[in-house]
């Protein structure tokens, strides 16, 4: 469905991605894990049209995304839940949802979709006409996911969905992801929270300093002896520390 090959992105003289290749098959949940500064958000930006790569390709369902603007990419079926949620805090919850459907014109279907989202996320229904900036962190994350889903994506990108949230709220977010998966939405997830990412995904890539260090099914990776070294850049981390997210 999505094929990234040899992707290179630099900011000035600093290389953020040095030839990253990965693929996501239809219906899969794929996670990209890696420490801070590994290039995870840059990868997301490159797929969604936020940065122009220096080399490589990003192909979605047979068409290259590289020369398309962000709007066209959304229209083709890719939505992003960005790092830090970035909901429109001065808009109401309802308006945020409507904005999520900006690329669509089917008014009736949009209204029905909003209704469906409110069914999935009852917390949002109670706060429908409140400015989104007043929501709690977990509610904002739900809103960001609902907003992205309103574009009716076939591939949903999530950038650090658990960042800055309390463990209970993280549980909720991951339950939502599991449900989306059961609905057949393909998901590409970027996480620092290794434990969570491996638990929810079919396959995982380890990204470190701009390159893919390891890849495999999530089950394989958990067993792989080199896994910690690939993730942390050095061996000998105690087993117990693995689940802790190094934020």
Residue window 20-39: x/- pattern of binding to another protein, with contact defined by CB under 8 A: --------------------
- Give yes or no for residue 80 binding another protein (CB under 8 A): yes
Candidate residues 18, 40, 147, 196; the one interacting with another protein per rule CB under 8 A: 147
- Give yes or no for residue 95 binding another protein (CB under 8 A): yes
- Residues written for the chain: 247
Candidate residues 75, 209, 211, 245; the one interacting with another protein per rule CB under 8 A: 75
Contact (Cβ atoms closer than 8 angstroms) between residue 155 and residue 2: yes
All residues at 6 or more sequence positions from 20 whose CB lies less than 8 Å from its CB, including other chains: 4, 6, 7, 8, 39, 43, 56, 207, 210, 211, 212
Kind of pairing, strands 155-159 and 78-81?
Answer: parallel
Q: What is the dihedral of CA 91, 98, 101, 146, to 10 degrees?
A: 80
- Give yes or no for residue 51 binding another protein (CB under 8 A): no
> Whose Cβ is closer to another protein: residue 92's or residue 209's?
92
Contact (Cβ atoms closer than 8 angstroms) between residue 7 and residue 43: yes
The span of 97-105, 120-128, 164-172, 227-235 binding another protein (CB under 8 A) equals 97-105
- Give yes or no for residue 102 binding another protein (CB under 8 A): yes
Give residues 150-179 in contact with another protein (rule: CB under 8 A). Answer: 151
List the one residue out of 97, 130, 99 whose CA is nearest residue 114: 97
> Whose Cβ is closer to another protein: residue 128's or residue 219's?
128
All residues at 6 or more sequence positions from 57 whose CB lies less than 8 Å from its CB, including other chains: 3, 4, 5, 6, 7, 64, 66
Which residues bind to another protein, rule: CB under 8 A? 48-50, 69-71, 74-75, 79-80, 82, 86, 88-91, 95-96, 98-100, 102-103, 133, 147-148, 151
């Amino acid at each position: 469905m999505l094929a990234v090959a040899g992707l290179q992105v630099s900011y000035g003289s600093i290389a953020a991605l040095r030839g990253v290749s990965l693929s996501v098959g239809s219906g899969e949940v794929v996670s990209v894990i890696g420490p801070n500064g590994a290039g995870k958000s840059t990868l997301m930006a490159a797929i969604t049209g936020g940065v122009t790569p220096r080399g490589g390709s990003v192909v979605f369902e047979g068409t290259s995304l590289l020369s398309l603007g962000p709007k066209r990419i959304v229209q083709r079926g890719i939505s992003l839940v960005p790092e830090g949620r970035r909901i429109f805090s001065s808009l109401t919850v309802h308006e945020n949802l409507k904005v999520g459907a900006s690329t669509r014109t089917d008014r009736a279907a949009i209204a029905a979709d909003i209704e469906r989202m409110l069914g999935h996320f009852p917390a949002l229904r109670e706060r429908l006409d409140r400015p989104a900036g007043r929501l709690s962190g977990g509610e904002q994350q739900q809103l960001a996911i609902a907003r992205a889903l309103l574009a009716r994506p076939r591939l949903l990108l999530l950038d650090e969905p658990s960042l800055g949230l309390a463990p209970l709220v993280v549980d909720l977010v991951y339950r939502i992801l599991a449900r989306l998966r059961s609905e057949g939405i393909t998901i590409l997830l970027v996480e620092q929270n290794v434990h969570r990412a491996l638990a929810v995904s079919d396959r995982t890539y380890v990204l470190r300093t701009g390159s893919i260090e390891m890849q495999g099914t999530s089950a394989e990776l958990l067993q792989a002896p080199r896994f910690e070294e690939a993730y942390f850049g050095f061996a000998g981390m105690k087993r117990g520390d693995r689940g802790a997210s190094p934020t």
